[in-house]
A and B are shown apart, each in its own frame.
Chain A
Amino acid sequence: MDISDLLNIADQERQSQTAFRIRCCVAAGCVATNSLAVKENLQMAITAAEMADTVQVCGVGCMRLCSRAPLVAVDQVTPAKPSLLYETVTLDQVPTVVATLPSAPASRSGAVPLQQGDLTHPFFTHQRSIVLENTGLIDPERIEAYIAMGGYRSLYHVLREMTPTEVVDTMTRSGLRGRGGAGYPTGLKWAMVAKAIADRKFVVCNADEGDPGAFMDRSVLEGDPHRVLEGMAIAAYAVGATQGYIYIRAEYPLAIQRLHIAIRQAQRMGLLGSHIFDSPFDFRIDLRTGAGAYVCGEETALMASIEGKRGIPSPRPPYPAERGLWGFPTLINNVETFANVCPIIRNGAEWFASIGTEKSKGTKVFAIAGAIRNTGLIEVPMGTPLREIVEDMGGGVSDGGTAKAVQTGGPAGGCIPASAFDTPVDYESLTQLGSIMGSGGMIVMDQQTNMVDIARYFMEFCRDESCGKCIPCRAGTVQMHQLLSKICEGKAAPADLHLLEELCDMVKHTSLCGLGQSAPSPVLSTLRHFQDDYLALIHPE
């Protein structure tokens, strides 16, 4: 495999393009609403109408607006015209979709009208796609489609024209920070692993997206898996690793299946394996499937799980960069972090650093769900105000209500009140509000939601998911859950509230890993912003 081979594949792919293209979303959300059958019927209808030489039907990753699933888009490639989006497409609407194409036989007409989506809505126009630049546009099961979009050229460039130090330096200058939640500078992490001296090193992709309400990583893996593989290969070259693992949760069968296909295709083309692009660089990637343990998203627990053990965290330091998998230096990054690598290499660190805020660079993908009109996936520059996301892009609360709070960061995060919606979304400002950026799940809550009940919900989650290794987390979450239940049932006295605060403080400061340390966050943030909800339930002494 050489650069000319890559360009050839890209050319062939472009030449095989027809005048029209029908894209059907085949991400998990749309598949659950029968999109595979819609795609098949479209294909059959196109073939039956003898339009196959002018119209192509392909399955693509997430097209963002999940609440209107299944989504179908029609592109006019030559001459290029704006695409059309159709929402909640049913099987009986398939003939209508075909009839909208100019090359359709005149006799054909669709009886069932289509629901056309508004691509000029802020939900689409306010997005800035870097991570999701190919998601929803290309067929994730064909490596040729990724190569046609410029795929694997960054890897070629890195292997041929950059030293590992230059790659690390580029990442540092870009200002990219870990997208898994904590926001640790990616360049620093890479530099630490790169300078470690060891016989073997590992690169691990954390795809254990356990936060309920978060589906960004799933969408990236289902929609553009090769981008993650290429990002991992570049990271491996930069730090000197030869083996990579993707640790993915078993709840994402479709993402697992597409990753398997992607790895096999990349291996067959010599883009993974030994002597990649005829260079001395070897790198292989294996998949490791989780088995339903939230704590495995924590990096030390994740490594234990990759080694085939119980997912129990261990104290840090030593950090994985020094002693990771089987004691060797290991680089662990989130899916979205790896997905940002190729654009940074392609467009330069300065380009990336020009997007976002002073301390948070680039874009962030969010999954917005809950009591909101437009549920789905958005990618916006860092620093976009929460109000713009919820009210403009999300279209406000469903059923005409008003928003009470937005929950970010999953069980480790907190609730942001509507009064703070003008806050720009970046790592620092969310931390100031008592929440965290987290992996990017945003759940909108309306006025009917009782915040004490939400705090109890998250505490129940942490109680169930505590691995049981350290006492503050194992016993503390049980006690806090009991106190919160007592408050919810209206049986608590003011003294219980003080006890709860004390417990929160203790568990936060004495737990071993991130799960326990952040378990009190939903309680603390609701206590801070929604004290009235608590006081209304406290029974005066």
Chain B
Amino acid sequence: MQQKLDRLKESPSQTAGPYVHIGCTPNFTGIHGIYDEDLGTRIINDKTKGERITIRGRVFDGTGTPLRDALIEIWHADANGIYPSPEDKRGEADPNFRGWGRSPGDMETGEFVFETIKPGVAPFKDGRPMAPHVTFWVVARGINIGLQTRMYFSDEKAANEADPILQRIEHKVRIPTLIAEKTGDGEYRFDIRLQGDGETIFFDI
């Protein structure tokens, strides 16, 4: 017999369950005194460079009902397209930019809100520019493995058309599910549909 690859298997995912907020945003659930502040609350501060934007949205199930027990996380580049991560070897990101945000959504409406800056352009693997985008990760009760998607901006039409990821999506009719609608000055709405009509594109990345 040949040698063995001797690799481990990734730990299997399990649903975040109905009480994910106890672990990830305890202050939001009313558990105070353990952490000063819930992680992921602030992505930017007064000194962060870039155009201020607000992203709002809700997550809908296959019946059109908004989820009120989801946890939504986002990750995106700074105004120059650099990620605040040692894995990004292209340069130093804005020291006043966190890049990562987490929202439990509103307890009644399920609406999530992120106050951040519009990301710059980061390169695809072959060097072509990717349109400004925000990576989303959604977990909740009933979601067995976290769902990954991307949000693009409706006011970046030319960049979106040249985006190497959007270009390779076969069913063009689904691309609008990845594009946040500009609803006002610096205001964007990005609703996520888990299933059925207008189902958001999710990625296996």
Is chain B a partner of chain A in the same complex?
Answer: no
B interface with A by C-beta (< 8 Å): none
